[in-house]
Structure 1
Amino acid sequence: MSTEAFSQPVRVAAEQFATAFHESMSLYTGDLSAAWAPGRVNLIGEHTDYNEGFVLPLAVDRVSAFAGRARADQTVRLWSTHFNHYAQFSLDGLPETFEAQREALPGWARYILGVATELARAGIPLQGFDAVVSGDVPLGGGMSSSAALEVATAQACALFSGGKFTIGAEDATLAPLQVAALCQRAEHIASGLKSGILDQAASCLGQPGKAVLLDCRSLAYRYLPFRAPEISLMVIDTGVRRELASSAYNERRQQCEDAVEILRGQIEQHEPENQQAREIKSLRDITQEQFDRYKQELPEILRKRAGYIIKENERVLQVVALLEKNDIEAVGAILWQGHAGLRDEYEVSCEELDALVEIAHQVPGVLGARMMGGGFGGCTVNLVRTEAVEVLSEAVMRQYPEQTGRQASIDICRAAGGPGSVTL
């Protein structure tokens, strides 16, 4: 099958396979095949996932992709088009051999090993393969390149397993959200980052023209329309790669857990008749009224962190109500509010992100903007009237370097479908 119908990363990976791996065909047991998974834009609901709250992401038309062939043994060999680097590991002995093999791999390949390890831990039969890895999800830019790579890895492992396991909605070995949870665990062991399930779920559940409301506790989800020709979704990359300092990210998570402990104690003490107090497990369970009543018992830093999360869950549900009425334009005002909370209360923004949001705020036709992703760098997401796209682009290209000494890059994204695979 021609690769012309596929996205650029799939084509690039397929075209480079013969050059990257030029062994005898007797080494392989199957046809050249490709698997991919999308990155995501999170419209609203930042840092709420690991607080068992609500998120509203959409998969986008940027993917991580594998193109390769199954092998007759348990070896996995990889060539990254982005890093121009080979990596190799063995499926034999996983998950026990994970730590020893991890240390010998470059960072990008550790995510792939992590997914294979979690599949093995789940008792899924695996088979070796050679593959070229490509992608156009900006690395470290807040569009979840790591989650796209992880979900694409799961698709590739299924593709090259010779039918030993399948991924899908019905009668499959793994359902989409099982894949998301498995890939979330893979990220934890590969990077040490205790991330929530938002990124992997968004990649697994993508549908064209749809955002998905996900309850990160129950994993219940439903789709909402997100398609308006007169409004564009712009992702603007700061060019800052302060890798989500695991320490700062994990610190936020711990602060939220500490706030829950104190607030639950206050509710139990002052509301002994409240039978639900003992069931409080996360900030998602604290109402705004309860928070307002007991927030003075929190140290200031915990008060700010918890206040942001509780408000952000409310913002997600406000946006859902607007999308149900197909009022995408009104969503913009809530994005400005979300950025202010991330900057002032959760304190995960940075000078460059704030500069992009402020530039956007000054351009007529920009409905709303906020930083996106874990923070400390990466991208902003902007809702923009289509006729204002060029004006905002010009403003960013002129003002951002003047203010920061950096160059920004701009992508126009669409809500796109989820992962897939094909024999080429």
Structure 2
Amino acid sequence: MIDDIQAKFRELYQQEPLLVRSPGRVNLIGEHTDYNDGFVLPAAINKEIFFAIAPNNTNQVRMYAFDLQESATFDVNHIQRSKTSWHNYLLGVIAQFQKGKYKVPGFDVVFGGNVPIGAGLSSSAAVECGLAFGLNHLFDFGLEKLSLVKMAQLAEHEYAGVMSGIMDQFASMFGKKNHAIKLDCRSLDYEYMDIDMQDYRIVLCDTRIKHSLAATEYNTRRKECEAGVALLRKHYPEITSLRDVTLPMLEQHQAEFDPVVYRRCTYVVQENNRVLVACQHLEEGDMQAFGQQMYVSHEGLQHDYEVSCPELDFLVDQTRPLKTVAGARMMGGGFGGCTINLVETAAVDAFTKQMADAYQKQFGVTLQLYIASIVDGSSLVDC
């Protein structure tokens, strides 16, 4: 695909571009913990957004979205939010450089890729990180990767209007081949965890459904978590987020909680603990034990955090009797998107057929499946 994007750039702008790739991500475990200052375990995968980019010696930014076959032009000196959503992922990044007092000259860019939209693989973070990486290199701004990650996250907040945690952008930028990233979302300390995928493959089952609840309920969950923290701070002033909360603290003050808020907080505290336990299993090479933590994570998301949906629950339940599946759970914000499954390599073909047949029979929808490999984060492309 990068060849097609490069060719389109040459056709549109009659010059040679810099080529950048920026991956989407999976999250093995640790869902809805990032914006609670918790732990996550993502990995960059071989579903990627590619960029062809070059300066144009004008005051204009000329963009072409390869997958949509749409173009747009903006004055680089008057960057503001657009009514067209895809514009904002790029404009937001430019705005962050400008806020940091980095002068962005006019440039041309063609971008596109194979990160499925709406599947929970963070196509938006891949776009933001790819452009940030490309501009930093193209104009020699000299920013470190962590600064680029923070800028990409702020672009998501301020221009895309989604108050995401930092996990997606961090995984896209800092990914490492054959490794997951154990990330502390409070301190941004991280550790690469070797993940042995010789005997297992990551298979993503995309429901191809995104229920309309997703955006509003995501923000509601954040507010519910904040309400829980506010209540507990009356007793424990040192608490700043659910990262600081223990299960005994919650249990001691359960009577003071709205029952829904209590369940939300309980899930987050338990999920943080699960990430740490799962990482221990990973260090021990025990993928079966790791997979069991995935199943427990899904049950918490389904019943306590209530961000699953019938399609996701069905797909996870279909895997439970299969000895060839170590673990499965919903992934991402919820109400649609993908399940992530750890499947024995030799059984992948049989698994994908069985899951597709069952989903078609149950919902009358063709299940989209992706076999993902863990790759490096954002980088230049050599051609």
- Which TM-score band applies after superposition, normalised by the shorter structure? over 0.9
User: Which residue of structure 2 lines up, in the alignment, with residue 237 of structure 1?
Assistant: 206
Which of 242, 247, 261 lines up with 1:283 in the alignment?
Answer: 242
Cα offset, 1:396, TM superposition: 1.2
Specify the SS of the correspondent of 2:336: coil
* Greater Rg over alpha carbons, structure: 1
**Within 5 A, what are the aligned runs for 1:20-419?**
21-22=12-13, 25=14, 31-93=16-78, 97-99=79-81, 102-103=82-83, 106-161=84-139, 163=140, 165=141, 173-242=142-211, 245-265=214-234, 268=235, 277-419=236-378
Equivalenced residues, count: 383
- How far apart, in 2, do the equivalents of 1:198 and 1:422 lie? 24
* 2:45 alignment partner AA: V
Q: What's the CA shift string for 1:207-259, capped at 9, x where partnerless?
A: 00111111111111111101231111111111113367432111100100001
- Percent identity over the alignment? 38
Q: How far apart are the structure 1 equivalents of 2:34 and 2:85?
A: 24
Give the partner amino acid of 2:311.
Answer: E
Q: CA offsets per residue over residues 16-42 of structure 1, 9 Å max, x none? A: 2233x15xx5xx6xx421112111000
Cα distance, 1:393 vs structure 2:
0.7
Asked if 1 retains the 8 angstrom alpha-carbon contact of 2:25 and 2:121, the reply is: yes
> What SS is found at the alignment partner of 1:279?
coil
Mean alpha-carbon deviation: is it higher for 221-230 or for 307-316?
221-230
Q: Match of 2:253, SS? A: helix
Task: Write the distance in 2 (CA, Å) between the matches of 1:318 and 1:199.
Answer: 22
* 3-state SS of paired residue (1:86): strand
Report how far residue 422 of structure 1 moved.
Answer: 4.4
Q: Distance in 1 between the 2:113 and 2:213 partners?
A: 20
SS of residue paired to 2:8? helix
> 2: CA distance between counterparts of 1:342 and 1:190?
28
Contact 1:77 1:89 in 2 (8 A): yes
Query: What is the TM-score with the length of structure 1 in the denominator?
Result: 0.87
SS, match of residue 278 in structure 1: coil
* Cα displacement (A) at 1:201: 0.6
Find the aligned partners of 2:205 and 2:381 in 1 and give their Cα distance. Answer: 32
1:154-193 CA distance string (max 9 Å, x none): 02222332x2x1xxxxxxx322222111111100112221
Contact 2:228 2:265 in 1 (8 A): yes
Q: Contact 1:226–1:415 (CA<8 Å) still a contact in 2?
A: no
**Kept after mapping to 2: 8 A contact 1:372/1:381:** yes
CA distance in 2, matches of 1:418, 1:148: 10
Aligned partners of 2:212, 2:381: CA distance in 1, in Å?
Answer: 33
What TM-score results when the alignment is normalised by the length of structure 2?
0.96
- Aligned AA for 2:80? F
Cα drift, residue 423 of structure 1:
6.6
- AA aligned to 1:230 is D
1:67 aligned counterpart, secondary structure: strand
The corresponding residue for 2:9 is 17
After superposition, the C-alpha distances for 1:56-79 in whole angstroms (9 at most, x for unaligned) are 101111111111321102211111
Deviations 1:261-293 (A, max 9, x none): 11222xx2xxxxxxxx32201111001221222
2:201 corresponds to which letter in structure 1?
S
Could you list the runs of 4 or more consecutive aligned residues of structure 1 that deviate by over 3 angstroms after TM superposition?
A: 242-245
Unaligned runs of 5+ in 1: 1-7, 166-172, 269-276
- Distance (Å, rounded) in 2 between the aligned partners of 1:192 and 1:225: 34
Q: Is the 8 A contact 2:316 2:330 kept in 1?
A: yes
Q: Structure 1 residue 122: deviation in Å?
A: 1.1
Compared CA separation, residues 156 and 90, structure 1 to 2 (3 A): farther
The unaligned stretches of length 5 or more in structure 2 are none
For 1:91 and 1:113, the matched residues in 2 are separated by: 9
